[in-house]
Amino acid sequence: MHILEINNLHVSVEGKEILKGLDLTIKEGEIHAIMGPNGSGKSTLSNAIMGHPKYVIDRGQIIFDGQDITSMKTNERARLGIFLSFQYPSEIEGVTVSNFLRTSMKSLGKEQSIQEFSQSLKGKMALLKFDPAFSRRYLNAGFSGGEKKKSEILQLAMLDPKIAILDETDSGLDIDALRTVAEGINSIARSSHMGVLLITHYQRLLKYVKPDSVHIMMDGKIVKSAGHELAEHLEEKGYNWTYEPSKEAVGE
């Protein structure tokens, strides 16, 4: 079943067109990676899917779980089961990680008893090798870069969406934190059959999280798609060799 279908998507920011006719389909349980140089439109895509009001959809359609969400508000998309992790997670003083998660789950109609919530949170934190004391700290306040990214994956694990969009989750992570975050993504995605869209510059995350498909994005379009081996070619050759307007996928 297709969980996400994007058809001929054109998106502009402050009058400048960024996405120029992008097509993408993700099935339930699939992991897709989008790679591309700075300015290619990767983060614009993630924000457009999530419904950020700054990103104007000029043309095209976004179908999620069989429903047209092109004109929906961000909170409505979140309730349907779309999750977006941020490249630079915000710090929220005065709100503990535990309270933030419990409130978020309640807003999505996934409220649990205190006992159920505590047991679930403890298990998910253990999976991510997170000190339980972090649940009592203010959200991301004073967290290292790696801790903030692990906090985002903890939110993903607790909220259990239908699709997760992870925007440069690997940025700022050392080798140990990268492996822990990757193990968390693999465990959550494969056990729940959620769709995952990884947005990254580098192959290093994809060494641990093997995507079903890798897409190369340049100038607002996907110019090549193939299996995870495509990321390995990028590591060797860079992005310039991928741009061939007459081809949209490897082997075509």
Is residue 82 in a domain? Answer: yes
> What total of structural domains would you count in the chain?
1
pLDDT in tens, 154-204: 999 999 999 999 998 887 788 888 888 898 898 888 777 899 999 988 788
Is residue 252 in a domain? Answer: no
Token pair belonging to 134: 């972090």
- Please give the average per-residue pLDDT across 35-51, as a whole number: 93
Is residue 247 in a domain? Answer: no
Is residue 192 in a domain? Answer: yes
d(CA 226, CA 245): 16
Residue 123 has pLDDT above 70, yes or no: yes
pLDDT value for 247: 42
pLDDT in tens, 18-27: 999 999 999 9
C-alpha distances out from residue 73 to 18, 22, 165, Å: 20, 21, 17
Helices 145-159 and 114-127: angle between axes, nearest 10 degrees: 130
Q: Considering only residues 64 and 233, tell me which one the structure prediction assigns the higher pLDDT.
A: 64
pLDDT band, very low/low/confident/very high, at 235 (cuts 50, 70, 90): confident
Residue 244 has pLDDT above 70, yes or no: no
Residue 250: how many other CB atoms lie within 10 Å: 15
Is residue 251 in a domain? Answer: no
DSSP element (H, E) containing 163: strand 163-167
pLDDT in tens, 61-81: 999 999 999 999 999 999 999
Domain that holds residue 21: 2-242
pLDDT band, very low/low/confident/very high, at 102 (cuts 50, 70, 90): very high
Is residue 190 in a domain? Answer: yes
pLDDT band, very low/low/confident/very high, at 228 (cuts 50, 70, 90): confident
Is residue 143 in a domain? Answer: yes
- The CATH number of the domain holding residue 149 is 3.40.50.300
Is residue 248 in a domain? Answer: no
pLDDT value for 154: 93
